[in-house]
């Protein structure tokens, strides 16, 4: 059976089916539709102001590579007037981050925007390889997630960025909503669906792909032949987030709107006025934002430097994670789950 014509231009043969609305499009119309959606998100939410210096948090992975590509294009096409640059954190994970950083270095040339790299070793005196040797593979994602968040802020401050954009997509945000519910972390639950956070602080962060689903980003990267790194982190097979990811993917296979509806639920929560929220202050040790005397990175680092790496990982019984400042497995995924899902996302987007 021959292929359908593109539903938009009605001129070229359709090359793909958009997962969100089952629209059959040719490559060119898909690129235009996707880029227009991101442009609309940026304009409707006033994500950037002309003249701003914007750090694109670039891991070398698919989503942040699409982000770097699309932001560069839109900045030029619509005269946003942004001063864009790539910011990468080298966690020091042999066979993973060293390879993905090579990708980001090529992106620097491909997109013509400068790259700043900051390493855990230089910032904290420890690489993730060294931390894993101390702590083992079970809790290492806690260190990595806490250190990365702070390292990105420090990197952005170093190069005087006004704002940071990350490649978090709808799947990531739905996982975070569920994880925050499971952990009873009301403070994070109340802000994790926001497209822009930290506006009251020195460095607001935004997520232009907040409603973009994984399949769409994958299809865009695939057809644009973007240069990205697709291997999962060697240290994340036990990460808690992987279970949430698998659960959400199972739900999505039964009910395609599940991801957007989890986000919608997260956005619609209203918190009782009696809910105790942590008060933001600054860490006595390093000056970074913290609701505790010491920020989480300083607690973890102190444990490492004293030869007691588990010191900062335990959870105080009866206290919520926002009260203790504990944040576990905050960014990683399960390797097998991701590979399984990568196979699955190929189906709706590319098969005819």
Ligand X SMILES: Nc1ncnc2c1ncn2[C@@H]1O[C@H](COP(=O)(O)OP(=O)(O)OP(=O)(O)O)[C@@H](O)[C@H]1O
Q: Which of residues 321-340 bind ligand X (CB under 6 A)?
A: 331
Q: How far is the CB of 332 from ligand X (least distance, A)?
A: 6
Question: Smallest gap, in angstroms, from Cβ of residue 59 to ligand X?
Answer: 3
**Contact call for residues 70 and 54 (beta carbons, < 8 A):** no
Q: Which residue is nearest to ligand X (CB)?
A: 61
Nearer to ligand X, 153 or 252 (CB): 153
Which stretch in 60-68, 180-188, 274-282, 293-301 sits in contact with ligand X by CB under 6 A? 60-68
Is 64 a binder of ligand X (CB under 6 A)? yes
Looking at 129, 153, 172, 246, which residue binds ligand X (CB under 6 A)?
172
Compute how many other C-beta atoms are within 10 angstroms of the C-beta atom of residue 106. Answer: 14
Q: Which two tokens stand for residue 177?
A: 């909503």
Is residue 63 a contact residue for ligand X (CB under 6 A)? yes
Q: Quickly list DSSP for 169-230.
A: -HHHHHHHHHHHHHHT-HHHHHHTT-SEE-TTSSS-EE-TTTT--HHHHHHHHHHTT-----
* Token pair recorded at residue 97: 């981050």
For the chain, the 3-state helix, strand and coil shares in percent, each to the nearest 5, are: 45, 10, 45
Which segment (59-67, 128-136, 175-183, 281-289) binds ligand X by CB under 6 A? Answer: 59-67
Site for ligand X in 191-250 (CB under 6 A): none
Q: Which is nearer to ligand X, 172 or 334 (CB)?
A: 172
Identified binder of ligand X from the candidate list 29, 57, 113, 192, rule CB under 6 A: 57
Please list the residues that pair with 86 across neighbouring strands: 56, 115
- Residue 229 and residue 61 in contact, taking contact as beta carbons nearer than 8 Å: yes
Q: Which of 69, 168, 188, 335 binds ligand X (CB under 6 A)?
A: 168
Question: Footprint of ligand X on residues 148-167 (CB under 6 A)?
Answer: 148, 166-167
**Contact with ligand X (CB under 6 A) among 24, 59, 119, 290:** 59
Establish if 107 lies at the interface with ligand X (CB under 6 A): no
Whole-number Å distance between alpha carbons of 202 and 63: 25
DSSP 8-state secondary structure symbol assigned to residue 61:
S
349 vs 29, 101, 187, 253, 313, CA distance in Å? 14, 28, 36, 14, 41
Place of tokens 């639920």: 265
CA distances in angstroms from 248 to 58, 147, 198, 214, 345, listed in the order given: 25, 27, 27, 12, 13
Nearer CB in complex with ligand X: 209/294: 209
**Nearest distance, CB of residue 167 and ligand X, angstroms:** 3
Binding-site size for ligand X (CB under 6 A) equals 17
- The residue (of 68 and 326) whose beta carbon lies closer to ligand X is 68
DSSP secondary structure letters along 223-288: HTT-----PPPTT-TT-THHHHHHHHHHHHHH-TTHHHHHHHHHHH----TTSPPPPPEE-TTT--
* By the rule CB under 6 A, 88 interacts with ligand X: yes
Q: Based on CB atoms, which residue is closest to ligand X, 322 or 331? A: 331
Q: How far is the CB of 266 from ligand X (least distance, A)?
A: 17
Residues that bind ligand X (CB under 6 A): 57-59, 61-64, 87-89, 91, 148, 166-168, 172, 331
């Amino acid at each position: 059976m021959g292929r359908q014509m593109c539903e938009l231009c009605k001129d070229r043969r359709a090359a793909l089916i958009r997962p969100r609305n089952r629209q059959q499009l040719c490559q060119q119309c898909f690129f235009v539709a996707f880029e227009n959606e991101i442009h609309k998100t940026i304009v409707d939410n006033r994500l950037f102001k002309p003249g701003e210096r914007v750090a694109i948090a670039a891991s070398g992975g698919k989503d942040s590579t699409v982000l770097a590509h699309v932001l560069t294009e839109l900045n030029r096409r619509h005269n946003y007037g942004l001063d864009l640059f790539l910011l990468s954190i080298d966690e020091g994970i042999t066979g993973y981050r060293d390879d993905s950083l090579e990708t980001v270095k090529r992106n620097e040339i491909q997109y013509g925007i400068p790259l700043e790299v900051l390493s855990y070793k230089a910032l904290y005196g420890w690489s993730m390889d060294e931390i894993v040797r101390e702590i083992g593979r079970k809790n290492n994602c806690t260190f990595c997630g806490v250190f990365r968040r702070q390292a990105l802020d420090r990197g952005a401050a170093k190069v005087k960025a006004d704002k940071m954009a990350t490649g978090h997509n709808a799947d990531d945000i739905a996982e975070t909503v569920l994880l925050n519910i499971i952990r009873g972390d009301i403070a994070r639950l109340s802000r994790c669906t926001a497209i822009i956070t930290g506006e009251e602080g020195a460095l607001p962060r935004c997520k232009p792909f907040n409603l973009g689903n994984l399949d769409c980003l994958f299809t865009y990267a695939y057809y644009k032949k973007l240069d990205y790194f697709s291997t999962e982190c060697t240290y994340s097979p036990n990460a808690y987030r992987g279970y949430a990811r698998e659960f959400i993917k199972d739900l999505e296979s039964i009910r395609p709107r599940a991801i957007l509806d989890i986000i919608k639920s997260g956005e619609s929560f209203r918190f009782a006025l009696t809910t105790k929220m942590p008060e933001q202050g600054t860490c006595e040790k390093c000056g970074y934002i913290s609701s505790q005397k010491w920020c989480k990175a300083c607690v973890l680092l102190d444990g490492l430097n004293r030869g007691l790496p588990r010191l900062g990982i335990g959870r105080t019984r009866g206290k919520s994670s926002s009260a203790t400042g504990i944040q576990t497995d905050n960014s990683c995924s399960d390797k097998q789950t991701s590979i399984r899902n990568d196979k699955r996302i190929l189906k709706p987007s590319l098969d005819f």
